[in-house]
Amino acid sequence: VETEAPVVDPTGESSVAPAETTTLPRSGFKVMVANASGITGSAGQMSTALQSEQFIVTQPINADVTYGKQSVTVVFYVPGYETGATAVAEILGGVQIQPVATPAPVEGGSLGEAQVLIMLGTDLAGKLLPGALPAAPVDTTTTTVAPA
């Protein structure tokens, strides 16, 4: 009885590893922050925070009145910009991403030059970027001093 052993393609294995170590791009697309939280100034604060993380951010805007106040932040993207939306969602702490509707749920219905839209809910309004925290310097001297 002859049996064929399954062939494992080594190139298939090695192509998976780099994807986990590469950081998602923060350029090549523009981000718009729309205030869907009802907290005045929160979209501007979030825009500034994203700029400090090397994202290209357009002028903040308010969510369309029909969209209503949101408790959960969502990242929308123009088709073809899923990777950019994923990078933004990660820095926001892993929020949901989904394709944007037409017209966009912002005042005027247009994203202008932006390809990624953050509908800023009350969960992240006025807060620091959760995904940026691990990048903050951590004091490790206390753990390495133990051996005497």
Strand stretches in 44-83, DSSP E: 56-57, 61-62, 74-77
Separation of alpha carbons 117 and 76, rounded Å: 5
Average pLDDT over every residue of 43-48: 97
pTM of the model: 0.75
CA distance 40 to 32: 16
Lowest mean pLDDT among 9-18, 41-50, 51-60, 121-130: 9-18
Q: Are 83 and 25 in contact (CB under 8 A)?
A: yes
Residue 3 confidence (pLDDT): 54
Would you state the structure tokens that stand for residue 30, as one six-digit string? 């523009």
Cα separation, 99 vs 141, in Å, equals 45
Q: Tell me the per-residue pLDDT of 91-145, one tens digit each, with 9 for 90 and over.
A: 999 999 999 999 999 999 999 999 999 999 999 999 988 887 544 444 444 444 4
